[in-house]
Amino acid sequence: MPPKRRGQQAEPTATEPRPAAVRENSGQRGKFLTTAQGVRLPDTDHSLKAGPRGPSLMEDFHLREKITHFDHERIPERVVHARGAAAHGTFRAYGNASSVTKAGFLQKGRETQVFVRFSTVLGSRGSADTVRDVRGFAVKFYTDEGNFDLVGNNMPVFFIQDGIKFPDVIHAGKPHPDVEIPQAQTAHDTFWDFVSLHTEATHHVMWAMSDRGIPRSYRTMEGFGVHTFRLVDAEGGTSLVKFHWKPVAGVHSLVWEEAQIAAGADPDFHRRDMADGIEAGAPLEYELGLQVLPDSDDEMFEGIDLLDPTKIIPEELAEVQLVGKLTLDRNPTNYFAETEQVAFHTGNLVPGIEVTDDPLMQARLFSYLDTQLTRLGGPNFTQLPINCPHAAVNDNLRDGMHQTLVHHGKAPYLPNSVDDALPTTATEAEGAYVHRPVEVAGPKVRANPASFDDHFSQATLFWKSLSGIEKVHVIEAFTFELGKCFSQTIQERMLGSLAQVDAELCAAVADGLGLPAPDGTPAEDVTPSAALSQIPPGPGPIAGRIIGVVAASGADLAGIGKLRRTVEAKGAILRVLAPVGGTLKRGRGQQPVSRTFLTARSIEFDAVVIAGGTAGLHDIKLTVLLQEAFRHCKVIGAWGDGAQVLTDAGIDTGAPGVVLADEVAKPFSTELVDAVGMHRVWERAERVMNS
Ligand code: HDE
């Protein structure tokens, strides 16, 4: 290793990953249990006492240290996005982003390590994954030019236009402050009070009440940067851009009953799905897309204000150009060290990417670092391994709580003539972040531009772009949520907003609430955008999906083996469900049982198939599972006499999406795989709606 220069941190170089000492500081060296001071311990189960029945002694340094440390194990949870799960991965740039940005990690062929944390917004850290809510989609790129954080959501618009209202919307959505009810829900008075009094939230709640509010999996969510960013190319040219993440697995959601069952039966539904999928060799994959728009003086595009975070640019007006692929393929080693301590910040930018004057974005630029000072206990959290840039850091920042670095030199200031005048500032050519000289002018006012006054036209656009079944879900969600409001005034005010979106929507919700539907004047000249509907045009990939096969002793294990090989070759997971655990054996074949009828619930399967050789199998829990799967429009299948089990459970084997065959052969497997690739059999929806 070269000798250290005074005033310099010893390592790393720009291309070197995280400092080795930080990376490898596992905190678990040597085989013996020790105190925090490294003293080996003979016993950790008995406190030091004056006799076996006597009082514990103050001098027991091990007891005091162990309890004291335990007392301080928790840090404040995030005030929003407290519930989250994360994974490591890689971003590979493959597109033509160089024509619009000089950001190194977006240049074709470049690979960058990433850490991605998904989250819900409102619930506390122990709340359920599947509640109706926005999902956070925060990506930390450890680029050669410093960390870039794209701190986005799974919905492209936000509740409010100005960040100064953020505490208000969050106070309204969080549990009521008197009795702290309800947890992780928007179905209550204060949330809808806020929304109905802030009509700018209407577009956002259309998304939240749609299937987007209850994703099937993190792997099946889109992601959005929400705000408009400014990109700068190598020649200094600028353009405005919206960031999109497109899931390779397609966009799919739960149905509401599944989401509710999962919240009780498996509150870890989404984090388990991600961890299990990665473990099973099915990484989560997304393409990064850019909607590139001209950097005009008025920052408008086709009449849409690019600084208004309650607006989208329909993909039909500006194509989403794919420029790279994100692959998440490694689970965290330690939840606290990584997922809990990771600190994202919208101000973590790299040369080539700048922010705009969107007033929501501007407030965020203050908030993230500020909240992290409290949450992570001081200003040195960038030294935590998960936050530490992979690029060389030489920041002249010194001391502070939890300083883990031993800085060298005498002159942490610039310019200096003591420490060899180091470090030096860089030029733009040397990779410095130089802000574009964007013109700023205007009087100081607390006001919005007039273009922010349109609160409904894009809510109408969203509504009109949905398919029939998606509209039904939106109606049901509004009716459920407003039905949980006790104030009729709030319900009526909200119906007033829905009347401005669409008369049919408003009438259906009003009908469910038993209230009259008010008149409105919804926008008429709205062209639907196909990209807003999440119904796939054809079967998508099934990697990471879970196929449950019901079996018992006597089942056709060779058939299960065949089906397993087919679905596993496509990255899906096959789980055998049987009356009891263990291994099913028949002849030379055997299949491990992953779930019993007691431990299984329909929610974890994307398809349920009954193996041949199971006729006569009957269990009330299996009947409930099959009926739920049927009602949730999932693919159901059976081969051989397995069909009998379906009939016995009251399943209509002639209904759409029920796949039957004599044996496991190619046509059967192909039909199943294609049907799972479509996610749901919506053709069945009408049949099961009120069953
Ligand atoms: Fe955040 N947000 N936010 N937010 N946000 C936080 O930062 C805030 C907003 C988002 O997995 C906090 O470290 C303000 C929009 C995600 O660690 C906090 C405003 C979008 C995450 C904060 C917004 C987001 C956060 C809480 C309005 C989508 C989780 C803990 C001006 C584009 C990141 C923390 C993670 C977290 C403030 C609005 C996304 C308090 C003031 C819009 C994904 O700083």
Task: Supply the mean pLDDT for the chain.
Answer: 95
What is the position in ligand 1's atom list of the atom closest to the CA of 118?
11
Contacts of 34 (CB under 8 A, 6+ apart): 40, 41
- DSSP conformation class of 201: G
Nearest Cα neighbor of 509 from 481, 479, 487, 466 is 479
375 is in an annotated binding site: yes
The per-residue pLDDT for 9 is: 43
Determine, yes or no, domain membership for 1.
no
Determine, yes or no, domain membership for 311.
yes
Q: Mind listing the pLDDT tens digit for each residue in 169-223? A: 999 999 999 999 999 999 999 999 999 999 999 999 999 999 999 999 999 999 9
Model confidence at 519, pLDDT cuts 50, 70, 90, reads very high
Model confidence at 439, pLDDT cuts 50, 70, 90, reads confident
Tell me, yes or no, whether 480 and 578 share the same domain.
Answer: no
Nearest Cα neighbor of 456 from 191, 196, 202, 156 is 202
User: How many residues does the structure list for the chain?
Assistant: 691
Which residue's alpha carbon is nearest to atom 31 within ligand 1?
163
Nearest Cα neighbor of 210 from 584, 547, 491, 467 is 467
Model confidence at 686, pLDDT cuts 50, 70, 90, reads confident
269 is in an annotated binding site: no
Alpha helices in 383-487 (DSSP H): 457-465, 468-483
554 CA distance to ligand 1 middle (Å): 54
Instruction: Tokens for 361, please give them.
Output: 């974005």
Q: Which residues of 298-333 are buried (b: 16+ CB within 10 A; e: fewer)?
A: ebbbeebbbbbbbbbbbbeebebbbbbbbbbeebbe
Determine, yes or no, domain membership for 64.
no
The per-residue pLDDT for 29 is: 87
Determine, yes or no, domain membership for 438.
no
Q: How many domains does the chain have?
A: 3
Which of 124, 364, 369, 384 is the pocket-test mutation for ligand 1 (most atoms within 8 Å of CB)? 364
C-beta 183 within 6 A of ligand 1: no
Distance (Å, rounded) from C-alpha 105 to C-alpha 111?
Answer: 7
C-beta 242 within 6 A of ligand 1: no
Using the predicted structure, report yes or no on whether residue 10 has a pLDDT greater than 50: no
Q: Mind listing the pLDDT tens digit for each residue in 70-94? A: 999 999 999 999 999 999 999 999 9
166 is in an annotated binding site: yes
81 CA distance to ligand 1 middle (Å): 7
Q: Strand, helix or coil at 630? A: helix
Determine, yes or no, domain membership for 61.
no
Catalytic positions, written as ranges? 81, 153
Q: Is the N-terminal amide bond of 379 cis, ω within 30° of 0?
A: no
Tell me, yes or no, whether 495 and 591 share the same domain.
Answer: no
Using the predicted structure, report yes or no on whether residue 48 has a pLDDT greater than 50: yes
Question: What DSSP line would sit under 135-180, residue for residue?
Answer: EEEEEEEEETTEEEEEEEESSSS-S-SSGGGHHHHHHHHSPPTTT-
141 is in an annotated binding site: no
368 CA distance to ligand 1 middle (Å): 7
ipTM higher than threshold 0.95: yes
| Sign of torsion over alpha carbons 637, 642, 646, 647 | positive
Contact 206, 462 (CB under 8 A): yes
Model confidence at 5, pLDDT cuts 50, 70, 90, reads very low
The per-residue pLDDT for 619 is: 96
Contact 93, 105 (CB under 8 A): yes
Tell me, yes or no, whether 568 and 638 share the same domain.
Answer: yes
Burial class (CB in 10 A: 0-12, 13-18, 19+), 146: buried
Question: What DSSP line would sit under 295-346, residue for residue?
Answer: --TT-EETTEETT-TT----TTTS--EEEEEEEEEE--S-IIIIIIT----T
Burial class (CB in 10 A: 0-12, 13-18, 19+), 272: middle
Q: Mind listing the pLDDT tens digit for each residue in 317-361? A: 999 999 999 999 999 999 999 999 999 999 999 999 999 999 999
Tell me, yes or no, whether 594 and 666 share the same domain.
Answer: yes
**CB neighbours of residue 653 within 10 Å:** 13
Tell me, yes or no, whether 231 and 125 share the same domain.
Answer: yes
What is the position in ligand 1's atom list of the atom closest to the CA of 226?
32
What percentage of the chain carries pLDDT values higher than 70? 96
The per-residue pLDDT for 690 is: 58
Determine, yes or no, domain membership for 34.
no
Which residue's alpha carbon is nearest to atom 7 within ligand 1?
368
Tell me, yes or no, whether 113 and 261 share the same domain.
Answer: yes
Using the predicted structure, report yes or no on whether residue 531 has a pLDDT greater than 50: yes
Domain-ending residue, one of 332, 357, 383 = 383
Tell me, yes or no, whether 504 and 572 share the same domain.
Answer: no
Determine, yes or no, domain membership for 394.
no
Whole-Å CA distances, 195 to 124, 209, 235, 345: 21, 13, 44, 27
Question: What DSSP line would sit under 44-97, residue for residue?
Answer: SSS--BSSTTSPBPTT-HHHHHHHHHHHT---PPPSSS-SEEEEEEEEEE-SSG
Distance (Å, rounded) from C-alpha 461 to C-alpha 114?
Answer: 34
The CATH number assigned to the domain holding 486 equals 1.20.1370.20
The per-residue pLDDT for 2 is: 40
What percentage of the chain carries pLDDT values higher than 90? 94
The per-residue pLDDT for 27 is: 75
The CATH number assigned to the domain holding 351 equals 2.40.180.10
The per-residue pLDDT for 688 is: 79
The per-residue pLDDT for 4 is: 43
160 CA distance to ligand 1 middle (Å): 13
C-beta 461 within 6 A of ligand 1: no
Which residue's alpha carbon is nearest to atom 29 within ligand 1?
81
C-beta 152 within 6 A of ligand 1: yes
**CB neighbours of residue 214 within 10 Å:** 23
Tell me, yes or no, whether 506 and 626 share the same domain.
Answer: no
229 CA distance to ligand 1 middle (Å): 16
Distance (Å, rounded) from C-alpha 377 to C-alpha 375?
Answer: 6
Greatest alpha-carbon pair distance for the chain in Å reads: 88
**CB neighbours of residue 289 within 10 Å:** 23
The per-residue pLDDT for 24 is: 52
Contact 187, 195 (CB under 8 A): no
Nearest Cα neighbor of 678 from 465, 474, 463, 469 is 469
Using the predicted structure, report yes or no on whether residue 3 has a pLDDT greater than 90: no
Domain-ending residue, one of 532, 567, 593 = 532
The per-residue pLDDT for 26 is: 67
Domain-ending residue, one of 354, 383, 412 = 383
365 CA distance to ligand 1 middle (Å): 10
Q: Mind listing the pLDDT tens digit for each residue in 99-124? A: 999 999 999 999 999 999 999 999 99
Question: What DSSP line would sit under 481-499, residue for residue?
Answer: HHHT---HHHHHHHHHHHH
Tell me, yes or no, whether 684 and 596 share the same domain.
Answer: yes
Dihedral angle of Cα 511, 513, 515, 517, to the nearest 10 degrees: -50
Structural domain boundaries enclosing 468: 456-532
Instruction: Tokens for 430, please give them.
Output: 């040397």
Tell me, yes or no, whether 576 and 486 share the same domain.
Answer: no
Q: Mind listing the pLDDT tens digit for each residue in 621-642? A: 999 999 999 999 999 999 999 9
Which range has the worst mean pLDDT, 50-54, 585-589, 602-606?
Answer: 585-589
Q: Which residues of 521-530 are buried (b: 16+ CB within 10 A; e: fewer)?
A: ebbeebebbe
What is the position in ligand 1's atom list of the atom closest to the CA of 158?
42
Q: Mind listing the pLDDT tens digit for each residue in 369-403? A: 999 999 999 999 999 999 999 999 999 999 999 99
Element (H, E) at 1: none
Tell me, yes or no, whether 595 and 483 share the same domain.
Answer: no
Tell me, yes or no, whether 486 and 595 share the same domain.
Answer: no
The CATH number assigned to the domain holding 614 equals 3.40.50.880
Determine, yes or no, domain membership for 682.
yes
Q: Look at the block and give the residue holding tokens 């070269």.
A: 2
Q: ∠ CA 670-675-678 to the nearest 5 degrees?
A: 130
